[in-house]
Structure 1
Amino acid sequence: MPGGVFDGFDPKIPKIVPKKSYVFITIAIAAVLVLLIINPFVTIGAGERGIVLNFGAVQPIVLSEGLHVLIPIVQKVIKMDVRVHKSQTNAEASSKDLQEVTSVIAINYHILPDKANIIYQSIGTGYKERIIDPAVQEIVKAVTARYTAEELITKRPVVSAEMRGGLVERLIKHQIVVDEFSIMNFSFSKIFMEAIESKQTAEQLALKASRDLDRIKIEAEQKITQAKAEAEALRLQKENISPDLIKLRRIEATIKAIDKWNGILPKVTSQNMPFIDVKELEH
C-alpha cells in the first residue's frame, strides 16, 4: 500500500463470513420460531393447579404453581382454580308440621388441590352446578323435615350445625371441602308468620300477667307479715301492762305537769288543766 505498511485489511473489500456461521444463525432462528409456534411451556398461576392430559388422557401428576415444560403435541394442560369460592343456593322444603319453607344457604368451599385431576376426570369444571347445588338441596330437605317450622326458628343454630355436618360428609366424597356454612334466611308463608307473631304476643302477655300475679302475692304476704308483727307487738304490750305499770305512768305524767307549772293557780279552770293527785305522790 503506498505511503504505509499493508496490514491485510481494506475497508473497501467486503468481509467474507464463513458458511458455518450462516448455518448456526439459521438454525438458532428456526429453533426460536419453532419454540414460539409449539410453545412447550405453561405457567400455573397463584391459586391454580394444572391437569396434565396426554392425548386427552388425564395423568396422575398435578402441576403446582410456577413454570413447567410440556411435551409438544403430546401434552396439554387444563388449569383449575383451587381457591376458596362462595356458593349461594335457594332451597325449598317442608317442615315436620308440613309448612312450606324457603331457605337461602351460603357456603364457602374449595377443592382439594392434590385431587384436582380426579375432580376434572370425574366431574369436570362445573362441579358447583353438578355436585354442590344438588347436595345443598337434598341436605336442606332432609334436615328441615325433622323439625317443625317453629323449631326451625327457635333452634336455628342446631339446624345449621346439622345441615353443615351432612353437607361436609357428602361433598368430601367428591374432593370438595366446606369451609363455612350459614343459613342466610328462613322464609315461611304470611299466614304462618302472623300466627307465630300472635303466639309470641300472647306468651308475652301471659308472662307479664304471671309476673304481676307473683308481685301481688309477694306484696300481700308482706302486708300479712307486717300485720302479724304489729298484732304480736300489741299482744306483748297488753301482757306486760300491770296495775303497778299504770300507776307508774300516772306518776310520771304528774311529775311532768309539776315541772311545767309556774306556781300560779289559774283564775278560770278548764278541763285542760292538769289534775295533780298529791296522794299518789306520797306513796
Structure 2
Amino acid sequence: MNKPNSQSITAIIGGVIAALLLIIGFNSYTVINPGEAGVLSILGKAQEGALLEGIHFKPPIISKVDVYDVTVQKYEVPAQSATKDLQDLNASFAINFRLDPVQVVDIRRKQGTLSNVVAKVISPQTQESFKVAAARKTAEEAITRRDELKQDFDIALNNRLEKYGIIVLDTSVVDLNFTKAFAQAVEDKQIAEQSAQRAVYIAREAEQKAQADINRAKGRAEAQRLLADTLRAQGGSLVLQKEAIEAWRQGGSQMPNVLVMGGENESSVPFLFNLGDLADVDGDRPSPQDASPLDEPSPFESEQQENEDSSSSLNLPPGYGGLN
C-alpha cells in the first residue's frame, strides 16, 4: 500500500519539477523582432545596453523586458502662437518620428512608455518650437513665406527632441489659420492692390494710346510738310491744282474727260468740264458717249484747234488749253 503511494508522490514531484524547468527555460530568453528594441530590467532596475533584434538571455522569474517600437511613428499636434506683429496664429503639424534604439534605456528610465513620450515630450516641445518659429515672422510672411516658417520650426523641434532620444524624420503643416478679422483684412488688402494695379494699367494704356495719336499726327504733319516742300519746289500752282483734284475725287464724282487750267496765271484753280458740255455748244462733234474709241481717233488728238474755238465760244479767258 505504501509503495504505490510513494511512487505516485515521486511522479507528481517529478512532473512539477519538469514543469518548473520548462517554465524557467521559456523565461530564460526573449526574442526582439525587427523594428523593435528592448530594455532588460532585473528586480525593477533597468540594465545598461538596449536589446536589439535577435534572441537574448535573461534571468528567469526576476527579470522583465520592455519592448519599444522603433519604426516610424506619426503624431498630429495642434499648436498656437502669436506672430511678430502680434497676430494670433493656429496651426496643426503632422510629425513623423522614431525612437533612437541606442537610447531606449534612457527613454525607459526618464519617460517610460511610448504614450508618455508623446504626451510629455513631443506635444509640449512642438508647441514651444512653433512659438519660436512664428515669432520670427509677421502674419503676412507666415503666409507668403510658409516654407521658411516650416524650416525654422523643423530646426527648433529637432534641437529640442534630439536630447530625448527622439529622431524627427519629417514634419508637415496640416493647417494654418488666422483670426477672421485678420483674414478679412488680408482679403481687403489684396482687392485694393488689384484695383490699384488695374488703375495703373488703364492709365498706361491711355498714355500709350495718346502717344500713338501724337505719333500719327506728327507723321501726317511731316508727310504734308514733305509734300508741300516737293510741290513748292516744282511750282506753287501745283499745290492748288492737286488740292482741287483731291477735292473733286473725295466728292464722289467721276473725273472729267477734259481738264482745262489757266495758262497765263499759273496759280489759278483748275477749271473742270466734260466734253459732253462742249458737244452741246458745238453740234457738229459727237459727245464722248456716242463716239467709239475703236472706230474713230480720239478727239483730243485731232481737234485741238476746235477746243480752242470752243473755249472762245464759251468766253473763256485766252490762254486756256485742253488736257487729257
The residue that corresponds to 2:5 in the other structure is: none
Counterpart amino acid of 2:173? Answer: I
1:34 aligns with 2:47: no
SS at match of 1:83: coil
Match of 1:232 among 218, 222, 225: 222
Match of 1:201 among 187, 191, 194: 191
SS at match of 2:50: strand
* Matches of 1:168 and 1:268, distance apart in 2: 115
| 8 Å CA contact retained: 2:83, 2:138 | yes
CA shift at 1:178, angstroms? 1.0
Q: Percent identity?
A: 33
* Matches of 1:86 and 1:213, distance apart in 2: 55
SS at match of 2:48: strand
The residue that corresponds to 2:77 in the other structure is: 89
| 8 Å CA contact retained: 2:27, 2:59 | no
TM-score (norm. length: structure 1)? 0.75
The residue that corresponds to 2:43 in the other structure is: 55
Q: How does 1:219-258 map to 2 (within 5 A)?
A: 219-242=209-232, 244=234, 257=257
1:145 aligns with 2:158: no
| 8 Å CA contact retained: 2:46, 2:109 | yes
The count of corresponding residues between Structure 1 and Structure 2 is: 250
* Matches of 2:43 and 2:67, distance apart in 1: 16
| Structure 1 unaligned blocks of 5 or more | 1-22
* Matches of 1:237 and 1:264, distance apart in 2: 34
* Matches of 2:99 and 2:229, distance apart in 1: 93
CA shift at 1:84, angstroms? 0.8
The residue that corresponds to 1:114 in the other structure is: 102
- 1:225-280 deviation per Cα after TM superposition (whole angstroms, max 9, x unaligned): 22212211111111111364678897xx9xx947xx999963269xxx99998858
Q: How does 1:61-72 map to 2 (within 5 A)?
A: 61-72=49-60
The residue that corresponds to 1:4 in the other structure is: none
Structure number with larger C-alpha Rg: 2
CA 152–243 in structure 1, closer or farther in 2 if over 3 Å, else same:
closer
Q: How does 1:123-272 map to 2 (within 5 A)?
A: 123-125=111-113, 126-242=116-232, 244=234, 257=257, 266-267=279-280
Match of 2:34 among 41, 46, 49: 46
1:78 aligns with 2:91: no
Counterpart amino acid of 2:52? Answer: S
* Matches of 1:62 and 1:166, distance apart in 2: 28
- 1:38-78 deviation per Cα after TM superposition (whole angstroms, max 9, x unaligned): 62232222311111123222222222223333221343211
| Structure 2 unaligned blocks of 5 or more | 1-9, 246-255, 259-273, 283-287, 289-299, 301-306, 309-318
CA 173–247 in structure 1, closer or farther in 2 if over 3 Å, else same:
same
* Matches of 1:248 and 1:151, distance apart in 2: 74
| 8 Å CA contact retained: 2:27, 2:61 | no
TM-score (norm. length: structure 2)? 0.66
SS at match of 2:84: coil
Whose relative contact order is higher, 1 or 2, with alpha carbons under 8 Å and at least 6 apart? Answer: 1
| 8 Å CA contact retained: 2:38, 2:50 | yes
Q: Give the aligned CA root-mean-square deviation in angstroms.
A: 3.5
- 1:101-139 deviation per Cα after TM superposition (whole angstroms, max 9, x unaligned): 222122111111222122212222211111111111111
| 8 Å CA contact retained: 2:132, 2:156 | no
Counterpart amino acid of 2:21? Answer: V
CA 248–215 in structure 1, closer or farther in 2 if over 3 Å, else same:
closer
* Matches of 2:35 and 2:211, distance apart in 1: 73
* Matches of 2:169 and 2:65, distance apart in 1: 28
